[in-house]
């Protein structure tokens, strides 16, 4: 996770990861069956001004396999992150 992310204990209210990168709110779900929309909604309720991200730890996946966990986010948010990243790359290449 992000270098300054601090996990919150299961069952605690609020965000699942404290201090994520600016502008993100992260929910972690450790189950196979859950509604994508409900999970994103839970993240939004934690911080309505942030981009909701849900990280899924599927059955049989522990911390040793974190690279295989999956992520869900809204397409519009993904497109904005992509566009911002692309713009930043272009700015770096023109300022060099």
Position 1 in a domain: no
Q: What is the largest CA-CA distance in the chain?
A: 48
Question: Tens digits of per-residue pLDDT, 28-59?
Answer: 888 777 788 999 998 899 889 999 999 888 87
How confident is residue 75, by pLDDT bands cut at 50, 70 and 90?
Answer: very high
**Distance set, CA 30 to CA 4, 23, 94 (Å):** 21, 23, 43
| Structural domain of 22 | 6-95
If one counts the domains in the chain, the total is: 1
Position 77 in a domain: yes
């Amino acid at each position: 996770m992000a270098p300054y992310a601090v996990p919150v204990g299961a069952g605690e209210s609020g965000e699942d990861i404290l201090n994520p990168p600016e502008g993100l709110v992260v929910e972690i779900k450790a189950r196979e069956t859950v509604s994508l929309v409900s999970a994103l909604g839970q993240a939004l309720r934690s911080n309505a001004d942030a981009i909701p991200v849900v990280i899924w730890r599927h059955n049989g996946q522990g911390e040793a396999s974190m690279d295989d966990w999956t992520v869900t986010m809204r397409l519009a948010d993904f497109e904005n992150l992509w566009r911002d990243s692309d713009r930043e790359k272009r700015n770096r290449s023109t300022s060099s």
